[in-house]
Amino acid sequence: MKVRCGHLFDTSLGKFLENVDITVEKGKIVSVSEADNSPVDEDMSNCFVLPGFADSHTHLCFDVGDEVKQIGEAAGYQALVAAKNARKAILSGVTTLRDAGEKDYVDFSVKRGIEEGLIPGPRMLAAGPGIMRTGGHMWFMGEEADGEAEVMKGVRRQLRSGVDYIKIFVSGGATSHFTGTVTPEMTKKEIDTIIYEAHTAGKKVGAHTHGGDAATWAIEAGVDAIEHGCFLTEEQLLLMKEHKTVLVLTSGIQRAIRDCETNSDFMREKAGGAYDNYLSVIKRAAELGIEMAAGTDTNHGNIAEEAVFLSKAGVSFAEAVKVLTINGARLCSLETLAGSIEAGKYADMTVFEEDPTNNISVLYNPSWVFKEGKIIKTPAGIVF
């Protein structure tokens, strides 16, 4: 297959290249070259072509709203919800997705369903149920563990199950029932133990935290990613810079929880406070050059909201696109296969008929989506 691109975004140069041909064989890009006069299979001469997006933090099995009720549903029903949300993700231009935790390893079945072509969706990384303290944030979803011996065993069980990375919940969140947003929910020794066990096995660790002491302990212990981070301090951001910790931006879920009328008042208030503080955190993280990726959490299909938020924080269009593409692929350890449009990588492309540099909100509505060279969406409708 040969695709002609009028404007192709180059992540390494941070700009659009003009009049480029992409040749694809067996789902991968064979060459990227200057357009010629030869026939093409797909003519995107008037379009703006970006790499497929990476959603670096999501929970496919549930939506914004009553999490306890949703996660209490039967596994089969949760899988159906996940299939719906995987479809929403890929139609929004997401071709790589890092699921940040599901009950009873339902994400494994969803991942298999996508890989076997049973349902449409991005390629997936699955974290399984995640690890938290007894009664900690999202306790009803994951594996509760207390003390160094229990968290060690928890990590080893999840590694045995075949998780792609380890997800831990080290402090509270907007929907926590028993603690505040930045209340530590693991000890320093527990966090150290988890990260040592995971890294020894060659697996990355993502830590749910908005800030507080537990965020500092996780960064110092070498956690690979801070998930959310709405209340990170200057000192913590400097520590992340030193340790090369990735910050996974999830602004949309704070806004969505705040605006969800069926949520309790305390959840809406906590999420609203987090959202109000987040812009200054992201602005400072960008100034410090901290690597960021972006996730929707349960704000499914709205990865573009993170790009818009980055723009509000003063981040350039080019850098915002990198956050949504190559940075996310790197966090997923897939940077040699995804995240940019280059020879040897998957032919993942998100195509727009309008210029997103003039209005970044254009990213909400891709006209075409390609995953591994297969057309998933066109202006005429959904192909899958």
How does pLDDT run across 210-266, given as a tens digit for each residue?
A: 999 999 999 999 999 999 999 999 999 999 999 999 999 999 999 999 999 999 998
Secondary structure of the chain in the HEC alphabet?
A: CEEEEEEEEECCCCEEEEEEEEEEECCEEEEEEECCCCCCCEEEEEEEEEECEEEEEECCCCCCCCHHHHHCCCHHHHHHHHHHHHHHHHHCCEEEEEECCCHHHHHHHHHHHHHCCCCCCCEEECCCCCEECCCCCCCCCCEECCCHHHHHHHHHHHHHHCCCCEEEECECCCCCCCCCCCCECCCHHHHHHHHHHHHHCCCCEEEEECCCHHHHHHHHHCCCEEEECCCCCHHHHHHHHHHCCEEEECHHHHHHHHHCCCCCHHHHHHHHHHHHHHHHHHHHHHHHCCCEEECCECCCCCCHHHHHHHHHCCCCHHHHHHHHCHHHHHHCCCCCCCCCCCCCCECCEEEECCCCCCCHHHHHCCCEEEECCEEEEECCEECC
**332-374, pLDDT tens digit by residue?**
999 999 999 999 999 999 999 999 999 999 999 999 999 999 9
Q: CA 122, CA 87: separation in Å to the nearest integer?
A: 8
Please report the pLDDT score of residue 178 as a whole number. 84
Please report the pLDDT score of residue 61 as a whole number. 98
User: Picking from 174-178, 227-231, 311-315, which range would have the lowest pLDDT averaged per residue?
Assistant: 174-178
**CA quadruple 242, 245, 251, 253: dihedral sign:** negative
Per the CB < 8 A criterion, the answer to whether 347 and 288 are in contact is no
Please report the pLDDT score of residue 237 as a whole number. 98
Please report the pLDDT score of residue 381 as a whole number. 78
Number of CB atoms found within 10 A of residue 4's CB = 21
What is the chain's mean pLDDT, rounded? Answer: 96
Overall average pLDDT of the 271-282 stretch = 96
Q: Name the one residue in this structure whose structure tokens are 């009873």.
A: 104
**318-334, pLDDT tens digit by residue?**
999 999 999 999 999 99
Q: What pTM does this model have?
A: 0.96
Please report the pLDDT score of residue 179 as a whole number. 85
Please report the pLDDT score of residue 175 as a whole number. 85
State yes or no: pLDDT of 384 exceeds 80: no
Q: How confident is the model at residue 380 (pLDDT cuts 50, 70, 90)?
A: confident
State yes or no: pLDDT of 158 exceeds 80: yes
Q: How confident is the model at residue 382 (pLDDT cuts 50, 70, 90)?
A: confident
**53-70, pLDDT tens digit by residue?**
999 999 999 999 999 999
State yes or no: pLDDT of 30 exceeds 80: yes
Per the CB < 8 A criterion, the answer to whether 183 and 171 are in contact is yes
Q: How confident is the model at residue 307 (pLDDT cuts 50, 70, 90)?
A: very high
Please report the pLDDT score of residue 308 as a whole number. 98
Residue type, 208: H
State yes or no: pLDDT of 167 exceeds 90: yes
